[in-house]
Structure 1
């Protein structure tokens, strides 16, 4: 099971059912700008084991992609201020020399980017780009071997007639096929860790399902660890073993997927679930959006970042929510479920006030 701990050094010390392959420990990422210092990620800790999938969810600007780009060393060291620790297969990434990081990127750890058309070079054939990704990490391989590997991976991800499509340009592929090419590029060197940054956002639901099935099949084949970054809780329900909810650059809730979707204990997570249409409800039923907007990361509030938008802050005595940042503490349902909230009994509030609005058909069912 994926482990997470909000305290410095906690993720590295946390006991796990299997040895974690990726350990992110007290990660903070800041960007100097003309307006001030943007605190994009603050004190983030989590870990992922081989064969496991961690889903990271949250609104745009919550720090999902920024934290994952730090794992691949994609931030410009001249501008980004990164502290904390990131170890991939036992190798410390933060502060790693560029040449060593390049040897890991695409080989040990790879990323599937959200916009495949932007990520692929428009002037080079797909096969040439795949072959280049292979030869970078296999310098002794011949051009013929690299091309053969490119065709093999295109076939593996379900591209029809890969022997001919390998010579096509990216614009000659549909959106779903381009995303399959990106998956092939990510997996061409059999990485142990794969980060998928909203890989199904621009695809129709049928192609989405095919891509998710493909990722699951490839994970079983290669036993890779996967981080799935998305705002789609349906994708999380399909893919993730564990879920990390991020808001304003911080982890606000973590737990097993079943726990997070069935027994959430953070009001922000309730808001995400309320924003998802209920297939069992009346066709005229409206989704319940989260009011307001996330706070500025230039000047984050001293207390709970979600406090200005929270409909349940009146249940906490005084101005605790506005003045004190809550710690990541165990939830009421046992070990492994952590939440960042001052509510004394969030599970009761969820069952009595939130659940009847978002899924009334579940209120009377055993939980």
Structure 2
């Protein structure tokens, strides 16, 4: 059963001025009903995204990144999903919208590059048909015009001999080519919002760079807003304008990419940065992983969900980290009970020297 009323427990502070952003998400809660219990996949998430801007959403697997993206398109199974909150896309309420309304918006106004291109593409239809059909549906173009559009987009995303390759099936494409075909399918109707879910996963670094450059070029041309979902901070460092760090279905840090990467405020973000290898480090130097494992979303820890893995509850004092949920304010901020002075001190004295 899916409910659409706004929650009474406003645990997440709005991320910006309402009505200005092209995409505005407010107090989003997503719950999945399973045999083992209720999975709290997204737990009070708020953020804004303007046209022509790129928002990077990072975090470990299971943090709620992909669930958030699918929620924007209304792709969750309503029979097993409870969704609360507000998702406004250019003023259109997506949460609670009927299937006919969503079908008009999907692929046309908002599109998604799914994480696994091999499973997202149908093995029964050619690449050209899978790209041309959404174009026909949303524009009313003829079959011939839609096929020409598909060939054009395949060429735009760098597929060699697009007229010939449009007749191929997904299994005849390499991983990088399938990813490019997924991008072509997502962009065929010039969507105003593009959600890219791990678009560079399992691709070599050369193809990764080409795909990220392609997204940037297409954004400049069409002025689209982009949500880039990834677990790799390196991917968003030179791609995104703003950064949202998620943990256990919640936003734990938010700000511009420069702010978050140069002066992170949350212990989880510190852990992500210090666990990455550095070019100047000694090859024999061991990486510093984040201790423990991500929490089960069936039983999220009370208070701050990161406190079982955090090394700073003693600085906060008492049992506040265990008992009280930290909130993240509008704009730049982090959901942590450490004071602003404590965050600066820990980062300057302990984290920054390790980052080099």
Residue 338 of structure 2: aligned partner: 343
DSSP-derived class of the 2:258 partner: helix
For 1:248 and 1:199, locate their aligned partners in 2 and report how far apart those are by CA, in whole Å. 22
Equivalent residues of 2:29, 2:45 under 8 A apart:
yes
DSSP-derived class of the 1:268 partner: helix
Q: CA shift at 1:9, angstroms?
A: 7.3
Question: What are the Cα deviations for residues 193-215 of structure 1, in whole angstroms up to 9, with x where unaligned?
Answer: 00000000110000000000000
For 2:221 and 2:329, locate their aligned partners in 1 and report how far apart those are by CA, in whole Å. 36
Higher relative contact order (CA 8 A, sep 6+): 2
Runs of 4+ that moved beyond 3 A: 6-9
Q: CA shift at 1:31, angstroms?
A: 1.0
Q: CA shift at 1:8, angstroms?
A: 5.8
Equivalent residues of 1:264, 1:347 under 8 A apart:
no
Residue 298 of structure 1: aligned partner: 298
- Normalising by structure 2, we get a TM-score of 0.94
For 2:286 and 2:17, locate their aligned partners in 1 and report how far apart those are by CA, in whole Å. 42
For 1:197 and 1:81, locate their aligned partners in 2 and report how far apart those are by CA, in whole Å. 22
For 1:137 and 1:15, locate their aligned partners in 2 and report how far apart those are by CA, in whole Å. 29
Q: Determine if the alignment matches structure 1 residue 352 to structure 2 residue 349.
A: yes
Task: Provide structure 2 residue ranges, at least 5 long, that are not aligned to the other structure.
Answer: 1-9
Residue 266 of structure 1: aligned partner: 266
For 1:324 and 1:147, locate their aligned partners in 2 and report how far apart those are by CA, in whole Å. 56
Equivalent residues of 2:14, 2:329 under 8 A apart:
no
Q: CA shift at 1:329, angstroms?
A: 3.8
DSSP-derived class of the 1:150 partner: helix
For 2:278 and 2:156, locate their aligned partners in 1 and report how far apart those are by CA, in whole Å. 35
Task: Provide structure 1 residue ranges, at least 5 long, that are not aligned to the other structure.
Answer: 1-5, 331-335, 362-367
Equivalent residues of 2:13, 2:327 under 8 A apart:
no
Equivalent residues of 2:267, 2:310 under 8 A apart:
yes
Residue 55 of structure 2: aligned partner: 54
Residue 25 of structure 1: aligned partner: 26
Structural mapping, 1:100-179, within 5 Å: 100-139=101-140, 141-179=141-179
- Normalising by structure 1, we get a TM-score of 0.91
DSSP-derived class of the 1:111 partner: strand
DSSP-derived class of the 1:220 partner: helix
Query: What's the C-alpha RMSD, in Å, of the aligned pairs?
Result: 1.4
DSSP-derived class of the 1:308 partner: coil
Equivalent residues of 1:267, 1:310 under 8 A apart:
yes
For 2:231 and 2:280, locate their aligned partners in 1 and report how far apart those are by CA, in whole Å. 21
Structural mapping, 1:1-367, within 5 Å: 10-11=14-15, 14=17, 19-139=20-140, 141-329=141-329, 336-344=331-339, 345-357=342-354, 359=355, 361=356
Q: CA shift at 1:269, angstroms?
A: 0.3
DSSP-derived class of the 1:85 partner: strand
- The alignment of Structure 1 onto Structure 2 pairs a total of residues equal to 345
Question: What are the Cα deviations for residues 43-79 of structure 1, in whole angstroms up to 9, with x where unaligned?
Answer: 1000100100000000011000111100000001121
Relative to structure 1, the CA distance from residue 21 to residue 7 in structure 2 (aligned partners, 3 Å threshold; closer, same or farther) is farther
Equivalent residues of 1:41, 1:66 under 8 A apart:
yes
For 2:124 and 2:69, locate their aligned partners in 1 and report how far apart those are by CA, in whole Å. 28
Relative to structure 1, the CA distance from residue 113 to residue 26 in structure 2 (aligned partners, 3 Å threshold; closer, same or farther) is same
For 2:232 and 2:40, locate their aligned partners in 1 and report how far apart those are by CA, in whole Å. 25
For 1:229 and 1:110, locate their aligned partners in 2 and report how far apart those are by CA, in whole Å. 14
Question: What are the Cα deviations for residues 185-241 of structure 1, in whole angstroms up to 9, with x where unaligned?
Answer: 000000000000000011000000000000000000010000000011111102110
